[in-house]
Amino acid sequence: MTTTAADGTATDRTAADRGGARHVSLAILALAMGGFTIGTTEFVTMGLLPQVADGVDVSIPAAGHTISAYALGVVIGAPVLAYFGARWPRRGLLLALMAAYAVFNLLSAAAPSYEVLTLARFLDGLPHGIYFGVASLVAASMVPPERTGRAVAAVMLGLSVANVVGVPAATWLGQHLGWRAAYVAAAGLAVLTLVMVRAFVPPTPGDPHATGRRELAAFGSPQVWLTLAAGAVGFGGMFAVYSYISPTVTEVGGLGESTVPVFLLAFGLGMVAGTWLAGELAGWSVFGSLLAGAGGTAVVMVLFYLAAPHGWWALPVVFAITALGSVLVVNLQLRLMDVAGEAKTLGAAMNHASLNVANALGAWLGGLVIAAGYGYRSTALVGVGLSLLGVLVLVWSALAQRRTDAADAS
């Protein structure tokens, strides 16, 4: 039996209902495990940046470009794979994406040079955005409409938990066994995700009416572009700081290298808290949550600039940065799923493309100010500027929507 799901697409209700609430919970857990895998390998590079730089014989700012290469892969992979994969059975697509993720993590671990590592990180980023987009649609299809925000937040929670458990553990592993071991571990997590998705996620058909042309139609919506821009600049501030957190803690804060995983843990705990909060705030106002997240991030970036030279005093500020930033992640996903209209796959996938433009932009601008001699602390001021730009884009989006609504009513 086929019915209309919470995301507006056709879904196999018999498959989705099989096993009831327990199977839904296990399915969402499996989908979140993919987020855990992706988050671990995406963010661990930041915690191991000095080791990666030494390993491929480049400077720390140059090594930061491997972070940008991953982000570029997400930006390119999301629309391209959404274009070709919109009609695929969704569970099969998720399995293929995670298999590719395992392979490219192993390539990262085996990279003999900076150039090969940069290419491997780019390839590893290709499945990222479409995985989260499709996983969000599958999760939304299994719950009532009023629980869509919480279901999507639960999937995103895997990414957040990765920063509490996966990234600190992989950073510790990389510090003791070499940075390559962290990517090998991430490949193992991808294989585990394959097993869980195959076991717990019910066969979910793609949209038989989807076409590449229809998916690309989403790019004709100004609201889609404004939402993507808000994510690209508004979330970039967090990455300007996060990308260089290891040398900031040690060289600016005067703490030892062994304290870096503690700061990464604070980032992760902030993400978990912010992701949970985002799911709750979505029921109040998706757009209001976006404004609060972007504006609040600008404020705490100022606090980080002031606290960075004082060692442990910066720790609670790190928590606040990612808590507020994570409110953006979930609610940008929900807004894109709404404003993309019928182009559900592309709309859902492009959220993480936008966020990884933020990743690349933040890491790049942070590297520029560091290379210009302003020091690692200056990345916080980059974060302030990007967060405020995000607020301006959101205000622009609200005014544009108001004009459109007024025109439609007249």
Domains of the chain from N-terminus onward: 2-405 (1.20.1250.20)
d(CA 366, CA 239): 8
Residue type, 295: G
Residue 207's pLDDT is 66
C-alpha to C-alpha distances, 131 to 32, 179, 251, nearest whole angstrom: 11, 25, 37
pLDDT averaged per 10 residues, the chain (length 410): 42 44 83 92 81 85 83 84 79 92 93 91 90 86 77 84 83 88 93 93 73 67 86 86 85 83 83 84 80 88 90 90 86 80 73 79 87 87 91 89 74
Residue 150's pLDDT is 79
Q: Could you tell me the pTM of the whole model? A: 0.73
Residue 209's pLDDT is 65
Residue 2's pLDDT is 41
Structure tokens at 25: 């919970």
d(CA 134, CA 295): 29
> How many Cβ atoms are within 10 Å of 147's Cβ, its own excluded?
17
Asked if residue 71 lies in contact with residue 357, where contact means CB atoms within 8 angstroms, the answer is: yes
Residue 174's pLDDT is 87
Residue 206's pLDDT is 66
Residue 15's pLDDT is 41
Residue 70's pLDDT is 87
Please provide the size of the chain in residues: 410
Q: Long-range pairs for 301-305 at CB < 8 Å and ≥24 separation?
A: 301/237, 301/241, 301/380, 301/381, 301/383, 301/384, 301/387, 302/380, 302/384, 304/241, 304/380, 304/383, 305/377, 305/378, 305/380, 305/381, 305/384
d(CA 64, CA 74): 16
Residue 189's pLDDT is 94
Residue 192's pLDDT is 96
Residue 218's pLDDT is 63
